[in-house]
Structures are given as structure tokens and as C-alpha cells.
Structure 1
Amino acid sequence: MSNSTHPSQGRQYASVFDLNGVPRFGQALPLALQHVVAMIVGCVTPAIIVSGVAGLNEHDQVILVQAALFASAISTLLQLFPFIRFGKFQLGSALPVIMGISFAYVPSMQAIAETADVGTILAAQLAGGFIAILVGLSIQKIRILFPPIITGTVVFTIGLSLYPTAINYMAGGTSSPDYGSWKNWLAAFFTLAVVVGLNHFAKGTLKLASILIGIITGYIFASFLGLVDLSGIQSAGYFQLPKPLHFGLNFDPSACIAIGVLFAINSIQAIGDFSATTVGSMNRQPKDKELQGGIVMYGVTNILCSLIGGLPTATYSQNVGIVTTTKVINRCVLGLAAVILLIAGFVPKFSALLTTIPQCVLGGATISVFASIAMTGIKLIMLQEMNYRNTAIVGLSVALGMGITQAPAALATFPAWVTTIFGKSPVVVATLVAILLNTILPKEKKEA
């Protein structure tokens, strides 16, 4: 039975296993909370990392975290419930996916924040949104440029490039006066131990919420070590609307290129999440209109998010995992999760509380996330035969991408824009080299 009737009202309720229709609130709420728990840490952590690098004060840091929650909620709702349709086109995928602030952009955003400001990141995001729209409209033609060997190399490089961020956070954050102290490392490893333990020994919600539980227990542990500063919460209000254009928009061509390349890659990567959702929970491939509408909406929402101060979003793989595991595909369940995020985004006190999480605790929790990103890249790479040609593509792309960024003086004599595009984030170099090599290297007979 896909519908059930409420005895007192005689109203028809949809099953949570149906894509459309409204299920019972009591049934939907715990399932929605499960999605919120799985993604809220990932949603706000990039904003916390970027605000730290950009040197934002407590007030601006809260606004950036608040905007991250708000942007994720709006992006998810627009993706779930397309309201623009004409002919075979719909703006939005209408698939059960959650959108959130993406770690994929963190290395490039850090590089921009070091030399510019948050407004430069948001302007590059706005430009990237238009690139995503172009990718969505021409997805059938350009998809051939991004086989698993390319997307896998990019994702693997993203994971590798985030490791120094995690280690610096575990040590307490480079701006901290007690950077590298034993207290920071103790709290970091305690948090990591909880996350790893729950991931491997727990089941159900405890496993799904491993990172959130790890941060909560790590936070309590760190407070006993005197690492938690709650002074910023008192000055934060109880209700505040997001502040559009609070950080402004500062267009820098090199920053736009660096972020724009990632938008093109992430647009293709989204196909993987859309496909995993439909194959894992509905036993079918996504329709062309779902893919195209989803990627175009991904671009549209990022343009919108750049104006309200939210950082770049993407589909969240951990929530795809929940959908495919539970087979709960009802869009209202995921919509309720987005509404919970939306409400949280209106409460500066909540955002301020999130900013008090010690960096060592965040590092201990997120290093496992970064490790899983790198391993996802390896899984994608291994979908294709690792012959001499493909080994060369992956090896050279990662070597040049990681190598150039780890030798800061390597591009010292080049113009500043060259350093911004190619010398700060390994992802751009790895992507361009991988696409170039995949295009020009001769295919082996069996592969051809």
C-alpha cells in the first residue's frame, strides 16, 4: 500500500517510499533529522575554514555560517521541487538529493581568501554558476570529456589537497597561539577515535551520525581541557535574516577561472550522485530531463547563493548513501530536512555556537571525511582499466597538481594571475593536465 488514511481526518498520506505525495509528519520528521545530522557538519565546516583563513571577526564569521545553512536549504528545496517547466525541460532534478556547501571548493577558496577576500570568492562563485548552467544545457555533448579516469583524478586530488588543512586544524589552527600543543592533539585524536569507532562498530543512526557525535563528544572533551571559548555566543541574536551582499562581490578574472574549472567538474560529478540515487533507490538510470534540470538548477542556485553570501554548493554524497540504504525517496522528507536547516539559518545563536567548536575537534572529525573523498577518487579511477596510458594520466596529473602547489616559489617569476589560477590549488592543474593527456595520448587497442 503506497497510501494510508488518517483515521480522524480521512486524509490520504503518501508512503515515505514514494517519490511524490505528503507522508505523515510523525513518520517524516525522524527520517528528515537523520539527513540533517549526516550533513550539517559538512555544511558549515567550509564556511568556518574560509572565515579563519580570511581573518573574519566573530560577527562576520556567524553571518557566513548562517548564510551556509540558508544557502544549503534553499538549494535543496529548489532542486527537490521544480517550479519552472516547459516542454521536456524542468528547472531542477525533482530527485531525492540534498545540496550542501561543498568541500571540493575549499582548497581554491583558501587560496583566494589568503590573498583577497570572501567577496572575491562569492564573485567567482557567481561566474561559476553560469558555467554550470552552460554545462547543464550541453551535457550530452561534453560528457565524453569527463570519463571516470578524469573525474576520479580530480576527486582524488581534492582529497589529497585537503589533508594539510585537516592536520593544521588538528594541531589547533595556524592562527592559534597554542598551535601544535598536546591539548589540541589529544582532543583531535579523541574526536577521531570516536568517529572511527562509530563508523566501524556502530549501526543505524549512530553510524550515520558518527561525525556529528564525534564532534559533540570531542567538544565536551575539549571544554574540560579549556579549549572552548563561549564568549561569542552572548553577543549573537536570537533571530536575524540573512544579509545579501554583506561581503560584496569583487570580480577577479584569475579567481573566476580557478573556481569556474571546479564548477565544470562538479557539474559532471553531480551526474554520479544523481545516478547513484536513482539506481540505488529506484532501480533506474536518471532521465535526461532530470540530469539536465538538476545541473542547470545547480548553476542557478549557486548564482543565488553568491548573492546571499553562501559559499558554493554541491550534491551531498553522504545523503545519497542514506537514500540508497533506507530506500526512503519521498521528496517531502528531504524537503523537511531542508526546512530544518532553513530555520537554523535564521538563528544567529545557533550559528555562533557552531563557530565555538575548537579547530582541533573539527580537524579530528573531518580528516576521515577528507580521507573518504580521496578514496572515492580512487574508486572512480579503478572503474577503468589501469593500463600504461591511464596510469600515466593519473600519475602525471596528480604529480603536477600537488607538486606545483607544494613548491610555493616555483611560479615566483610569473604574473600574479598565473599563481592564483595554477599555483594555489592543485585541483585546477590536475584537472587541466588530466583532460589534456586523455585527449592527446593514443588509446591502447583494447580500449579503443
Structure 2
Amino acid sequence: MESRFDRRELLFQPRGIPPLGTSLSLALQHLVAMIVGCVTPPIIIAGAIGLSQEEQVLLIQASLVMSAVCTFLQLYPIGGRFGSGLPVILGVSFAYVPSMQAIAASGGGVAAIAGAMIVGGIVAVLVGVFVKKIRRLFPPVITGTVVFTIGLSLYPTAINYMAGGTGNTYESVVAQQGLTEALVYGSWQNWLIAALTLTVVLVLNHKAKGICKLASILIGMLFGYAVALCFGMVSFADVGNAAWFALPEPLHFGLKFDPASCVAIGLLFAINSIQAIGDFTATTVGGLDRDPTDQELQGGIIAYGTSNILTALMGGLPTATYSQNVGIVTTNKVVNRTVFAIAGGFLLLAGISPKFAALLTTIPQCVLGGATVTVFSTIAMTGMKLIASQDLTARNTTIVGLSAALGVGISQASEALSQFPEAFTMVFGQSPVVIATIMAVLLNLILPKEK
């Protein structure tokens, strides 16, 4: 008969059923590490588009449910070829937020995002099929430049949220939220709560250990939320009206194929497919002491693209592998897929409860800003680490510096492309990621390699 010690050893093996109690605690560890990152992009995009309360709830629901589905498809490959079979967790990715904000600004809405996701999913599938040949076009200096640019482009979003959100005028706060005290954009109350939230996150991240360190962003948000309650900034009116149980509505937001949006999101899917190789590799090297097989990489990327097509049809936002969960695997070496399936189950349960989703929409924007500014800075620094993993030669510094300069510079100068056609401006002028990606790839191909 199997001893408890033997069953605990199963935690460090991909297959088998480890003890339930230990598996639950480890699954919760993975959940708290990624739940904030998973729900924040839908909240940001819902605000950028101006969705109603009911539609905000639906967007969050669909994103959580499909994050769980995408995770299950990776954990349990279909036919042994569709999916990686590796211990990874997928969630809504911040990498797509700048481009989705640009789509929102152009009036495309969730429908245009969904159409672009379908095209992007097809791009990812093609990358998976030809991964061996395409991979060489995206060395670390290229992927690092793109990730760094994504982090930089998210900073204004964090600052706007810390100030209270650009939509928080006196009239809108009173009319839409019915709060006891109207706090306008840029008020000292917003900045105070954002600063307190950020302080708690930083203290826990650098001083705490174990679960408190891992859940530093979540605990910081809970603290900021409590302070916001004291300022009368939270209304639970819509939470009471939300149902306890409901499934997402397929194609609720519709489907629209806008060429400019498809190009912008399609490029990001290609980049994230290559980035997924890094996460798959880090998982196998750190948790299984080996490199991923070609079949694992190919199956994982094909499943990533296909599952995002399904996510688009269900009304969710783009998902990707979560590097913070990869970091947990490399730290504790737990690779049993039962643990990750339980974490996916928690995501699924959270997604089918509109009341939970409605509760998330009550989080004040200043709290979100104070918590996520650290996430955005981490994204930028992750890009820097990838860049620094290569020699910082004159060639590489030119690729990074020029690509980031053109990408961020053109997107920040709002009138820079005003004389160009609207479609051109949508692709190249709204999100810095597109120009940075194209420039980095071209410079890498054109500039002569140093001896």
C-alpha cells in the first residue's frame, strides 16, 4: 500500500495523484500569484471601451472561464499532440493591452478585438507548425525589446489609474456609481490610496516570505480596497443584483474583422508564441531538469493559438502563459498536473459566478493603479533581462534603443501620423509594440553581425 510519503513524492512527478490537502494549498499558491493579473486587463479594456456594468461582468466572466479552459488544454493534450502536457497556467495577458486600448480608442470595441484574436490565433498555429524555422527570427534581443516596450507602454495606464481613472469626473462618479463622496481624477484621495497600496505591495514583496510574498499584489489590493471603503469610494449596488451562477454568452459582443486591428494583434500573437517557448523551456529546465521536446513546443503553441480562437468566440480576451507561475515551478519543483488542474478549477468556478465578477468591478481604479504599476515595471524589467542575456554590443544596443525609441516615440506623439490614412495610423501609430517589433526584426536581419 502506498505510504503518504510516497504520495507526497508524486508532487515532483508529472503524473499521479498526490495528497489532496497539499495539492490544494499549492494550487491556491498558483492562483493568488496570477488572479490579479488575470482580471485586471478585462477591467482596463472594459473601462477604455465604456462597457456597461453588465457587460463588464460578462467580459471578466468569459476571460476567467477561458483562462481555465486554455490551462486544461495545455495540461491534458488531445491525441498526444494538441497541447504541451507541461505544468503551466494560462491567463489574460497584459502584452495585448496597449493594442487593445488602441482598438478601443478607434471605436472597434470587443467585436474588433475578437476578430483580431481569431486571426492572431491562426498566426500562432502557423508559428507552432513551423516553429523550428521561425524561431531563429526571434532571438532574446528581439523578444526582450518587445517585452520591454510593452512594459513601457503600460506605464501611462498605471499612472492614470493611480490618479483615479480619466473617466472619474464629478458628474460620472455621482451618476454612475452613486457614491457618498465624489472623488475626481487627480484628487489627493486617489493618490493617497494608490500610494498606500503600492507601499504595502513593495514591503511584502521585499520583506515577507512564503505566501505573503507571493500574494503581495493581492494583499496590497485588499488593503487599498479597505481604505477606499473608508473614503466611501466603493458601491455594492450592482453586486447585489448579480446572479450567483451563470455561463458566459458566446459571441455576446459580436465579431468584426478590422484589417488594422488584425495586423496589430496578429504580430503580438507571433511574438507571444515565441515567448511561450521561453516559458515552456523555463518550466522543463527548472521543474523537470530537461529541455522541452519538439513535440511539446509544437503542441503547446498550436494549442495556444487554437484555444485563443475559442476564447474569441466565447467573448474573452487573449491569454498567454504566466511567467510568475513558471517562477513558482522553478522554485518549488512541483510539476504534478493535478495541482495545476485544481488551480484551473478555481479559475473556472470564479468565472461562472457573475457575483464574483461584479465584486471585482467595484475595485476603485486608484487601487488597481497602485497595485499594477509594479506588475508593469516587472514586465519592462523582464524584457531588460532577456536583452542583457545577450552581449550588449553596439549592434544589439542599436536594435534595442532604436526600436523602443521609434515605437514609444511615435505612439506618444499623437499627431505624428495625422496625415496618413486612418488604417495605417491604427496599425503603426496607436500601439508602440507593432513598430518596435517590426523594427527589431528588420534591424536584426539587416545590421551586419559582429565577429
With the length of structure 2 as denominator, give the TM-score of the two structures. Answer: 0.95
Whichever residue aligns with residue 149 of structure 2, its letter is T
1:413 corresponds to 2:408: no
Aligned to 1:244: 250
Aligned residue number for residue 179 of structure 2: none
Q: Which consecutive residues of structure 2, in runs of 5 or more, have no partner in the other structure?
A: 170-183
Q: What residue number does 2:95 align with?
A: 104
Secondary structure at the aligned position of 2:331 is classed as: helix
Specify the alignment match of 2:294 in structure 1: 288
Distance 2:185 2:28 in 1: 35
In 2 relative to 1, CA 12–440 (structure 1 residues): closer, same or farther, beyond 3 Å?
A: closer
1:160 matches 2:152: yes
Q: Name the residue aligned to 1:260.
A: 266
Is 1:352 the counterpart of 2:358? The answer is: yes
Between the aligned partners of 1:149 and 1:309, the Cα distance in structure 2 is 34
Matches within 5 A, 1:102-251: 102-115=93-106, 116-177=108-169, 178-251=184-257
Asked whether the equivalents of residues 14 and 24 of structure 1 are also in contact (C-alpha less than 8 Å), the reply is: no
Q: CA deviation at 1:289?
A: 0.6
Contact kept? 2:403, 2:437, Cα under 8 Å: yes
The match for 1:82 is 77
Q: Is the contact between residue 7 and residue 19 of structure 2 (CA under 8 Å) also seen in structure 1?
A: no
How far apart are 1:84 and its partner, in Å? 2.0
- Structure 1 unmatched runs, 5+: none
1:41 counterpart = 2:36: yes
> Structure 1-normalised TM-score?
0.96
CA distance in 1, matches of 2:8, 2:161: 47
Q: Is the 8 A contact 1:48 1:65 kept in 2?
A: yes
Amino acid at match of 1:76: T
The CA distance in 2 between the partners of 1:289 and 1:149, in whole Å, is 25
Determine helix, strand or coil for the equivalent of 2:415.
helix
Structure 2 residue matching 1:409: 3-state secondary structure: coil
Structure 2 residue 444 is matched with structure 1 residue 438: yes
Corresponding residue of 1:16:
11
Match of residue 94 from structure 1: 85
**Post-superposition offset of 1:282:** 1.3
Q: 1:373-388 maps to which residues of 2 (within 5 A)? A: 373-388=379-394
Q: Which amino acid aligns with 2:333?
A: K
Aligned residues between the structures: 436
Change (3 A) 1:343 1:439: same
Partner letter of residue 15 of structure 1? L
Cα root mean square deviation, aligned: 1.3
Say which SS state the counterpart of residue 251 (structure 1) adopts. coil
**Post-superposition shift, 1:4?**
3.5
The answer to whether the 8 A contact 1:50-1:110 is kept is yes
2:417 and 2:135 mapped to 1: Cα distance?
A: 32
Letter in 2 for 1:98: I
Partner of 2:49: 54
Partners of 2:394 and 2:24 in 1: CA distance: 51
| Closer, same or farther: CA 14–438 of 1 in aligned 2, 3 Å | same
CA contact (8 A) 2:68 2:90 kept: yes
**SS of the counterpart of 1:314?**
strand
**Inter-partner Cα distance in structure 1 for 2:142 and 2:2:** 47
Q: Displacement, 1:73?
A: 0.3
Name which of 401, 408, 432 aligns with 2:407: 401
**What is the CA-CA distance between 1:386 and the residue it aligns to?**
1.1
Offset at residue 114 of structure 1 (A): 1.3
